């Protein structure tokens, strides 16, 4: 689990930046349009396309239960919002 979407793969690019907000078109440019086995992305390309079509908002927040609680209470949380 990851807390944020990054501008690039932080394991390969030391200049990769955490993104607190990103649009579906921007996110889809990062992850591509095709699912490949072994693809390492927080939200897969097929689901991303469908989420964009349905105008869904998705939060990438990692695995901290307290962070999830803050999100559910509409408080400030650590993570990326995709919309």
For the chain, the domains span 5-82
Which residues are CB-neighbours of 46 under 8 A, at least 6 positions away? 35
- Mean pLDDT in residue range 19-28: 97
Torsion of CA 30, 25, 5, 22, to 10 degrees: 140
pLDDT at 33 over 90: no
Helix and strand element counts for the chain (H, E): 3, 5
pLDDT-based confidence at residue 42 (cuts at 50, 70, 90)? confident
pLDDT at 32 over 90: no
């Amino acid at each position: 689990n990851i807390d944020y979407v990054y501008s690039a793969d932080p394991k390969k690019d030391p200049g990769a930046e955490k993104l607190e907000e990103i649009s579906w078109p921007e996110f889809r440019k990062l992850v591509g349009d095709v699912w490949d086995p072994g693809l390492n992305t927080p939200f897969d390309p097929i689901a991303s396309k469908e989420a964009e079509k349905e105008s869904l908002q998705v939060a990438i927040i990692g695995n901290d239960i307290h962070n999830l609680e803050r999100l559910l209470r509409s408080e400030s949380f650590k993570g990326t919002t995709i919309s």
